Amino acid sequence: LHFHEVKAGNPDLKAPDVLKKLSQMYKAIPAAELEKLNLEIVADHNPKSESEKLEQRKKILFARKHGLPKSPPITAYQVYIMEQLSGNKGTPINAMALKFVETSKAWNLLSQQSKEKYIVQAMENKLTFLRALKQWAEEKEIQFSKRISVLSNRLFAKHQRIEAKRLKESKAAPRT
């Protein structure tokens, strides 16, 4: 039951037709075999462990300490919320929660024309952020990616290579 297998067997089929065929094949599978497949899927699924998540957070924090740009609000909704909720420092959490709910409802009532300025601002924020991210990657001499996790992994790996090289050179250097 794999998309690519069905597509390889029927190269003339378009994606929606392949999905329909997969659906028919799935419905034709006996219940016992279906249960077996579901168990295999569950066994194959390996969510990240806490240590892996912690390691990833450590890498992102390392990248942030080395100048990784912070992501600005990049959706129109985020821009609107940030604009409406700015200047509320020191406001109690309960009051902020109520204001957030009201602001969210107000967003849903805005016309598409009113939302347009937030959409434009969000697009500008996104482009500015991507430019800053690309410039940062070039400065750090790592391959660019839009994904923060990939960039932080690359920076951390580069840092480890440099540290290992330094350590190796310091051990190889004769002491006088």
Of 110, 61, 60, nearest in space to 84 by CA = 110
| pLDDT on residue 17 | 92
Number of structural domains in the chain: 2
Question: What's the pLDDT score for residue 33?
Answer: 86
Is 36 in the same domain as 64? no
pLDDT confidence of residue 176:
57
Q: Are residues 71 and 40 in the same domain?
A: no
In tens, the pLDDT along 20-78 reads: 998 998 888 888 888 888 877 777 777 778 888 999 999 999 999 999 999 998 899 99
CA distance 155 to 161: 10
* pLDDT above 80 (res 136): yes
The pLDDT of residue 2 is 80
Residues 6+ apart with CB under 8 A from 125: 72, 73, 74, 79
Claim to verify: residue 71 and residue 8 sit in the same structural domain: no
Sign of CA dihedral 120, 124, 127, 129: negative
Q: Is residue 153 part of a domain?
A: yes
Domain co-membership, 162 together with 132: yes
Specify the pLDDT at position 103.
93
Is 119 found in the same domain as 90?
A: yes
Give the mean pLDDT of the chain.
89
DSSP SS3 for 43: helix
* CATH code, domain carrying 98: 1.10.30.10
pLDDT for residue 79:
94
Q: Which pLDDT score is estimated for 80?
A: 94
Which among 60, 3, 57 has a CA at the least distance from the CA of 26?
A: 3
